A and B are shown apart, each in its own frame.
Chain A
Amino acid sequence: MPNFARIATRATAVAAALAAGIAVAPAASAQSGKESLDLSGLFTDTVVTGSLVLDGNVGKLVNLSSVTQVVDELGRSIGSPRTVALRSGTGNGKLAKYSCLPKTKGNKHFTAFTPAEAFLADDKGKTQALFYAYRQERAREMKTTNGERYDSTQFEICGVGGSDTEGGSRLRRAGVGIAYADAGTTYKIGQNWKEGETPANYTMDLAFSVPIKAVEIAGGISQTPTNKLTGSIGTPFKTDVDVYARNAVNAWWEDSCTGSWMGCRKWSGSKDFHGAVAHSLFEFTPQKAKTVEVGGFQLHAFRSAS
C-alpha cells in the first residue's frame, strides 16, 4: 500500500475510534509493525458555557455545560463534540490573582455583583473563570424613536481565568469569553483585551471609570518569546456562541505553536497555568436591561489541551 493511502486509512480509523469514544493507544502500526501511530497532533478543545443571572447583587452562572471536541494539530475537528452538564457556579470573588475590581465606589446607581464562576476539572486539568458584572443605571439620557425620554443602563462584564494542565497534558490555548445573546442588533459599546507577549502581571481598564485590575499568570514557559495574549469578537475555535460575535468579546493566551506553519505537536504547549482577561461593555434601555439580567449574557471559559 502506498504511504499516502496508508496514512489516510490510519487517520480515518483513529477518527472513527475517537468518535465512538474508544480509547486509542499509540500502538504499533498493523501494516508494518514498526511505525508508531502518531497521535501527537491531537488536542481537545473544551468550552465551558453558562448563562449569567443577576439577582440582587449576586451573579450566578446557570445551565453550565462543558463541550469537548477532539481536533488535529491544525484545529480541525475529529469526531463529534461531547456535552456534559455542570453544576451552576457562584464564585467567592476572593481569589487574589483573579479579580476585576472597581477602583472607586461608584455612585448610587452603580451596582457591583458578586462574581459568577465557571469551573471544570477533568483528566486534562482544571479550568476556572470568574465573571464580574457591574451595572450602571442612569448612564445616559436618551430618547426613544417616539421621543420618550429614558435613562440607559450599562453593564460591564469582566471575565478573568484560565487553565492548568495535569497528567502530562499540555496547554495550547486558554481564555474567557463574554457574549450578549443577540445576533441581530449590536448592544456592545466597548471591549478590551490584551495583545502581545504575556507579561507576569498586567491591568486593563474599561467602562464607567471603573478600572479593572487583574493578575495574569506566573509564566514558566520555557520557549517563549512568541507566546502571546490575544483576543477577538469570535472564539479561537468554533463554538455555538460565535453567532453572537457582534455582541461578544473573547480573550485568550495561546502557545506559539498555534500560529506556526506546522501546527501544534506533542512537544508544543505549556504545562503552566495560563489565562486572560476580557472586558465588555453593553448598553440597553431600562426595560430591556431587566430582561438581560435573566440569562441574557452567555459566558464561557475555553481551553485547548493535548
Chain B
Amino acid sequence: MIRLVRTLAAAATALTLGVLAGCGSDGPGAATAAQSPPTPVARDLASYDAYVVASAENNPLFADVYAIRFQPFAIDRITTGKRISSLGADKSSVLVAAGDENVDRLAMVGGTGDLLPIPGLGRPHAFAPTVVDGVAYYKDIDPAERKDEYRYFAYDLTQQTKKLLFRTVETRFDLTPMDNGRLFSTTSSEDGPIKVVIRSRTGKERFLPLRVNAGGGPLGRDLFAYTTLGVDERGEKQATGMDLLDLDTGKSTHVAGLQPVVWSPDGTQLLAKRIGSTPDGSPTDTALVLLDAAKPDAFVDVRTVPNLAIYFGTWVRGEALPAR
C-alpha cells in the first residue's frame, strides 16, 4: 500500500515537473551566442551608407556587423553571433574576418547576415580585410610556419586574382592603400608603442611613432585619427580623446573626449563617438558626432545609438552627413 501511494505521488510530481519544465535540451552549440538569433531578414546592403562592427553587450569578442543609413538615420543589425573581428567594405562588397568557425576566416557578408565564401577565394584563415575600389587587402600567417611570417595580399574581387604584396615578422594592421602606390599600416611589438608605417611602391618603409599611449583608428585623406589613452586608478587603459596626425608633416591635433569611428568616403569628415556614456545613457550607448578635419573642435552631434557599443567600420556612400 505504502509503495503504491509513493509511486502515485512520485508520478504526480513527475508529471507536474514535466509540465513546468517543458521539453527539450541544450544541444551542442546552443550557447555560442549570448541570445538566440532572430529570424533572418534579407536586407539590401547597397542601400546603406556605412557598415560598423558593434556589440550590444560591449564585448568585442562577440561583435557583429551593423549597417547605418544616415538620411533618415537608421542602424540595422546584419549579422548575429558571427564574432566579427574586423571589417572592410566598398560600395559593392562587405568583407569581414569572423570567428564563427573558431579561428578567423574571411567571408563576404550577405544581406541575410550569412557569411559567404568570397568568390574565387573561399574562406581562408586570414585577418583584417580592407576593401578599396574592388580590391581586398588582408593578411594571413604563412602556413609553413618556418619563419612565423605574416603575408599581405591584394585580392581583386572582380578578376579573382591574388597578389602577394610583402611579408613581415612583426605584424601590421589596418593595411590601407594610399596614393602613388603607397601602403599605410600600423605596427607594434608586444606591449610596445604603436607606429605608423608608410610603405612605398618599392618597399621602402617610413616609421612614424605615435604618442606612448595610443590606440588605433582609421586613415582619412590626409590625417590618421587614433585614440589616445590614459591609465585609470585601477591601472587599466582608458580612452581620453583622439589625435589627428598629419602623415606628411608629422603634426597632430588633439581632440579631447572623442574617439574616431570612421572617415567619410572622401576622407574629410570624421564620424566619431563621445567617450563614455551619454549623461543619462548606459555605458553601451554610442553618441555619434561629426567633425570636419579642417575644424576638428567644431563637431556636431549626429545621433545617440542606444544599447550598442560601436567600435569601428567603413563609410562607403554619401559625403554630407546632416546633423540631427
Binding site for B on A (CB under 8 A): 3-4, 6-7, 35, 38, 41, 73-74, 107-108, 138-149, 152, 154, 185-193, 195, 207-209, 230-234, 246, 260-263, 281, 283-284
A193 and B102 contact, Cβ closer than 8 Å, known pairs A3-B1, A4-B5, A146-B229: no
B99 (CB) vs chain A CBs: closest residue? A140
Tell me if A143 and B31 are in contact (CB < 8 A).
no
**Across the interface, which residues of A come within 8 angstroms of B309, CB to CB?**
145
**Across the interface, which residues of A come within 8 angstroms of B226, CB to CB?**
147
A286 (CB) vs chain B CBs: closest residue? B190
Known: A41-B10, A147-B259. 12 other contacts (CB 8 A): A3-B1, A4-B5, A107-B145, A108-B148, A141-B97, A141-B128, A145-B311, A146-B237, A191-B29, A207-B102, A231-B25, A246-B34
**Across the interface, which residues of B come within 8 angstroms of A246, CB to CB?**
31, 34
- Most interface-central of A146, A154, A195, A207 (chain B CB within 10 A): A146
Binary contact track B175-219/A, C-beta < 8 Å → 1, others 0 = 000000000001010000010000000000000000000011100
Tell me if A142 and B26 are in contact (CB < 8 A).
no
Tell me if B127 and A141 are in contact (CB < 8 A).
yes
A281 (CB) vs chain B CBs: closest residue? B102
Q: Give the complex CA separation of A190 and B32 in angstroms.
A: 6
B199 to chain A, nearest CB (A): 18
Q: Which candidate, B43-51, B55-63, B67-75, B155-163, is the interface stretch facing chain A?
A: B55-63
B83 to chain A, nearest CB (A): 7
Is chain A's interface secondary structure helix, strand, loop, or mixed overall? loop
**Across the interface, which residues of B come within 8 angstroms of A145, CB to CB?**
58, 60, 239, 309, 311
A262 and B14 contact, Cβ closer than 8 Å, known pairs A145-B311, A192-B28: yes
A256 to chain B, nearest CB (A): 14
Q: Give the complex CA separation of A263 and B7 in angstroms.
A: 9
Q: Give the complex CA separation of A131 and B259 in angstroms.
A: 43
Tell me if B102 and A73 are in contact (CB < 8 A).
no
Tell me if A141 and B85 are in contact (CB < 8 A).
yes
Tell me if A190 and B102 are in contact (CB < 8 A).
yes
In this complex, the interface size class of chain B, counting residues with CB under 8 Å from chain A, is: 35 or more
Q: Give the complex CA separation of A135 and B10 in angstroms.
A: 47
Q: With an 8 A cutoff between CB atoms, is B169 at the interface? A: no
**Across the interface, which residues of B come within 8 angstroms of A6, CB to CB?**
2
**Across the interface, which residues of A come within 8 angstroms of B128, CB to CB?**
141
A107 (CB) vs chain B CBs: closest residue? B145
Q: Which of B1, B59, B104, B173 contacts A149 (CB 8 A)?
A: B173
**Across the interface, which residues of B come within 8 angstroms of A143, CB to CB?**
60, 85-86, 216, 311-312
Q: Which of B11, B102, B188, B260 contacts A261 (CB 8 A)?
A: B11
A261 and B1 contact, Cβ closer than 8 Å, known pairs A38-B6, A233-B26, A283-B61: no
Tell me if B239 and A146 are in contact (CB < 8 A).
yes
A195 and B217 contact, Cβ closer than 8 Å, known pairs A147-B312, A261-B11: no
Tell me if A141 and B26 are in contact (CB < 8 A).
no
Tell me if B11 and A262 are in contact (CB < 8 A).
yes
Can you offer 23 A-B residue contacts whose CB atoms are under 8 A?
A3-B1, A3-B5, A38-B3, A41-B6, A41-B10, A74-B13, A139-B103, A141-B173, A142-B85, A144-B60, A146-B215, A147-B260, A147-B311, A148-B237, A149-B186, A152-B61, A187-B61, A189-B61, A189-B99, A191-B32, A208-B102, A208-B103, A232-B25
Q: With an 8 A cutoff between CB atoms, is B227 at the interface? A: yes
Q: Give the complex CA separation of A260 and B186 in angstroms.
A: 62
Binary contact track B14-52/A, C-beta < 8 Å → 1, others 0 = 110100000001111111101000000000000000000
Q: Give the complex CA separation of A108 and B143 in angstroms.
A: 11
The 7 closest A-B pairs by CB, nearest first: A147-B216, A146-B215, A147-B215, A141-B127, A140-B104, A192-B28, A148-B215
A185 and B227 contact, Cβ closer than 8 Å, known pairs A141-B86, A144-B215, A146-B215: no
**Across the interface, which residues of B come within 8 angstroms of A146, CB to CB?**
215-216, 227, 229, 237-239, 259
B143 (CB) vs chain A CBs: closest residue? A107
Q: With an 8 A cutoff between CB atoms, is B171 at the interface? A: yes
B35 to chain A, nearest CB (A): 10
B105 (CB) vs chain A CBs: closest residue? A140
Binary contact track B301-324/A, C-beta < 8 Å → 1, others 0 = 000000001011000000000000
Tell me if B25 and A195 are in contact (CB < 8 A).
yes
Tell me if A141 and B217 are in contact (CB < 8 A).
no
Tell me if B32 and A189 are in contact (CB < 8 A).
yes
**Across the interface, which residues of A come within 8 angstroms of B62, CB to CB?**
186
Q: Give the complex CA separation of A141 and B6 in angstroms.
A: 60
- Most interface-central of A138, A152, A187, A208 (chain B CB within 10 A): A152
A288 (CB) vs chain B CBs: closest residue? B61
A149 and B10 contact, Cβ closer than 8 Å, known pairs A188-B31, A189-B32: no
A194 (CB) vs chain B CBs: closest residue? B28
Q: Give the complex CA separation of A191 and B237 in angstroms.
A: 32
Binary contact track B102-115/A, C-beta < 8 Å → 1, others 0 = 11100000000000
Q: Give the complex CA separation of A146 and B141 in angstroms.
A: 25
Tell me if A262 and B10 are in contact (CB < 8 A).
yes
**Across the interface, which residues of B come within 8 angstroms of A140, CB to CB?**
85, 97, 99, 103-104, 127
**Across the interface, which residues of B come within 8 angstroms of A107, CB to CB?**
145
